Amino acid sequence: MLLSPTKTTLKIFVLVSGVGQSHITTVGQPTMSMVQWSDDYSVEIQEIDEQHKCIVSYINELYEALSRKDSPDLVADVIHKLVEYTKIHFAVEETLMRIFHYEGYEQHKAIHDKLVQQALSYQGRFLAGDARVGMELLMFLKEWLFSHINKVDKQYIDTFHAAGVKKKWLKKLW
């Protein structure tokens, strides 16, 4: 039996979402926040919104680690998890764009690729001993995330909805 793109996509989402959710459950919510999620940032697709919320959680976890002046190893671990989860999130978005023939795919992917390179550069500088990088990365990600959601991600909403992507999950599987 062949799966429709929507059903195939759902299976991809469940796997990826489980990664982010298990992290949040294991680590717990940060006690200090630098950024707050608002429904104003919603792309009207629950899976993507939940992934964006995970990225917000990682940004806040990094803020908390830097504020507590945690060991560089702990901060490096948070940066690593943030970068890796962001790459997973981008892969999900890009997969949807290809499946549903989003015309802005190439430009959107180029924006994602540039962010990954910038994040890896910050990560490399931190690992090389540049302690200032943590706060620079936080400020960069805070500005980038919400600007990207509002100016770039929201452009695919109509294409995805027209292709049948549901706004809400039929049932929560993770």
Which domains, ranges and CATH numbers included, belong to the chain?
A: 46-162 (1.20.120.50)
51: nearest Cα among 88, 22, 12: 88
Confidence band of 25 (pLDDT split at 50, 70, 90):
very low
The residue ranking higher by pLDDT, 99 or 10, is: 99
**Hunting for tokens 């990207």 — which residue is that?**
148
Structure tokens given for 173: 């599987």
Specify the pLDDT at position 26.
30
